[in-house]
């Protein structure tokens, strides 16, 4: 009788999809960024400090630009289980090899096993090996720069629109995460 790993490799005829997973925290606390203003005019940038956060979990494919994201209230083992369950269902037509860092909630024994997902952990302290990190830079620079949010719900609504827009544009994902060594 074959083990789960052997059946993943030998008996399953579904195509393989390579995904890089990461999560980012977004909150109501603002981080003012530089902006353009005419010479002699000092720009006014709204700021406030409210320590309320939400998290976006994403998995991106550098090869074809396909992605999957969830907005969840916490980054913990329960949230990771939800993300992996939904991701497994979303990519059920594929055998998924998912690269992720070694955050505590990624390595927990409680995250479960998924029939079509195999997890590969990246070396510690190596965010440069995860192309998914560039997704967060892109979102912060192009959508959330110098913004304030009256409620966490308004921020989550905006993140939902952003993630849908990005998911619909595979070319954007490929441009951001298509590292030459990650494209198979």
Strands (E), 47-116: 53-60, 67-72, 95-100
Q: Where are the domains of the chain?
A: 14-29+47-177
pLDDT of res. 148: 82
Please report the pLDDT score of residue 80 as a whole number. Answer: 96
CATH 3.90.1720.10 is held by the domain 14-29+47-177: no
**Which of 133-139's residues contact partners 24+ apart within 8 Å by CB, and which partners?**
133/22, 134/176, 134/177, 135/22, 135/24, 135/58, 135/60, 135/67, 135/166, 135/173, 135/176, 135/177, 136/22, 136/24, 138/172, 138/176, 139/24, 139/166
What angle do the packed helices 133-142 and 152-167 form, to 10 degrees? Answer: 120
Inter-residue contact 105 to 111 (CB < 8 Å)? yes
User: How high is the pLDDT of residue 132?
Assistant: 87
State the pLDDT at residue 145: 83
- Report whether 18 contacts 97 (CB < 8 A): yes
**Short-list 122, 94, 95, 91, CA closest to 106:** 122
Rounded to two decimals, the pTM is 0.83
Mean pLDDT of successive 10-residue stretches along the chain, which has 184 residues: 50 89 87 76 76 93 93 95 96 95 89 92 85 90 86 95 93 82 67
pLDDT at residue 176, rounded to an integer: 85
Question: According to the model, what pLDDT value does residue 124 have?
Answer: 83
Nearest Cα to 84, choosing from 62, 52, 54, 107? Answer: 107
């Amino acid at each position: 009788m074959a083990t789960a790993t052997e059946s993943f490799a030998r008996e399953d005829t579904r195509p393989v999809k390579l995904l890089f997973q990461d999560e980012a925290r977004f909150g109501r606390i603002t981080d003012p960024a530089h902006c353009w203003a005419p010479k002699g005019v000092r720009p006014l940038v709204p700021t406030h400090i409210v320590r309320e956060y939400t998290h976006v979990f994403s998995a991106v494919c550098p090869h074809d630009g396909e992605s999957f994201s969830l907005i969840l209230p916490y980054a913990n083992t329960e949230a990771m289980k939800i993300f992996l369950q939904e991701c497994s269902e979303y990519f059920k037509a594929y055998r998924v090899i998912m690269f992720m860092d070694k955050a505590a909630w990624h390595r927990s024994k409680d995250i479960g096993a998924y029939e079509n997902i195999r997890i590969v952990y990246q070396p510690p302290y190596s965010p440069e090996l995860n192309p998914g990190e560039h997704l967060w830079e892109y979102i912060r620079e192009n959508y959330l720069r110098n913004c304030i949010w009256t409620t966490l719900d308004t921020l989550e609504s905006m993140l939902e629109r952003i993630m849908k827009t990005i998911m619909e544009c595979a070319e954007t994902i490929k441009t951001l995460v298509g590292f030459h060594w990650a494209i198979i």
